[in-house]
Copies of this chain bind each other. A is one copy, B any other.
Amino acid sequence: MRIPKHIGIIPDGNRRWSINNGLSKETGYTYGLDPGLILFNLCRKIGIKEITYYGFTTDNAKRPKTQRKAFTQACIKAVKILSKEDADLLVLGNYNSPMFPSELLPYTKRQTFGKGGTKVNFLVNYGWEWDLSNLNHNNSSNRKKITNLLKSNDISRVDLIIRWGGRRRLSGFLPVQSIYSDFYVVDEYWPDFKQEHFYKALNWYNTQDITLGG
């Protein structure tokens, strides 16, 4: 079976899940913590080398304060949970903004936790415009030069993006690394994560070809 080297995770649908469960909108984020860890362990087991979690974006940061607080706290907790695993962990996002939680500043340089071995990228207060903002040092259309100048240059091309919550869009997720990604959508909300969603995505990925446009 062809296993993706790098998967991107868009854990969407937390607010819709909350409403469906009669809870206030911001409650759902906490219920996404367990799925995140289960998924990490599945990736380890299967041999996926790199995982990028879409935490929150500069767009999301415009939402009401109670929601912002809730998803920020969930990201902090998620990073702390992952730092107890065997992971080479990096938190990436605009840390020059007040929206970036100071608790995560120590994680903005990649560090090995435990025995390491799985690259884990966690996007926090990430913005596509921020990611592209260093390209002023570029003077060519050489792909390598462009990707080297991304703020996210330590994140490799994504093979498979899985989005929970039914939306079929990237919503700013790593626009350059996603250029050739296969995109799989799970209709269920992220807090309703089941292992079978992930296995279905992998089975589907296995039936795709890789052409990179060639």
Q: What 0/1 pattern do residues 142 to 185 of A give for CB contact below 8 A with B?
A: 11001000000000000000000001111110011011111110
Q: Does A127 contact B (CB under 8 A)?
A: yes
Interface flags, A174-198, vs B, CB<8A=1, else 0: 0110111111100000000000000
A133–B129 contact, CB under 8 A?
no
Identical chains in the assembly: 2
A136 near B133 (CB under 8 angstroms)? no
Would A172 and B133 count as touching, CB distance under 8 A?
A: no
Output the least CB separation between A60 and chain B (Å).
6
How far is it, in angstroms, between the C-alpha of A68 and the C-alpha of B151 when the chains are bound? 35
A57 neighbours in B (Cβ, 8 Å): 213
Knowing A136-B135, A171-B179, the reply to whether A214 touches B59 (Cβ < 8 A) is yes
Q: A135-B138, A175-B176, A179-B171 are in contact. Are A59 and B128 (CB under 8 A)?
A: no
Are the CB atoms of B183 and A179 closer together than 8 Å? no
Q: Which of B130, B138, B167, B176 contacts A133 (CB 8 A)?
A: B138
- Interface assignment of A137: CB less than 8 Å from any CB of chain B: yes
Does A213 contact B139, Cβ atoms closer than 8 Å? Answer: no
CA distance A213 to B126 in the complex (A): 12
Complex Cα gap A101–B164 (Å): 42
A212 interface residue (CB < 8 Å to B): yes
Tell me the minimal C-beta distance from A56 to chain B in angstroms. Answer: 9
Q: Is A62 an interface residue (CB 8 A)?
A: yes
Is there a chain B Cβ closer than 8 Å to A132's Cβ?
Answer: yes
Instruction: State whether B171 touches A184 (Cβ < 8 A).
Output: no
Contact A146 B171 (CB under 8 A): no
A130 to chain B, nearest CB (A): 5
Q: Is the C-beta of A45 less than 8 angstroms from some C-beta in chain B?
A: no
Which residues of chain A have a CB within 8 Å of any CB of chain B?
57, 59-60, 62-63, 94, 127-130, 132-133, 135-143, 146, 167-172, 175-176, 178-184, 208, 212-214
With A130-B141, A132-B176 known, 11 other A-B pairs at CB within 8 A are A59-B213, A63-B214, A128-B176, A129-B146, A167-B182, A169-B182, A170-B178, A170-B179, A170-B180, A175-B175, A175-B176
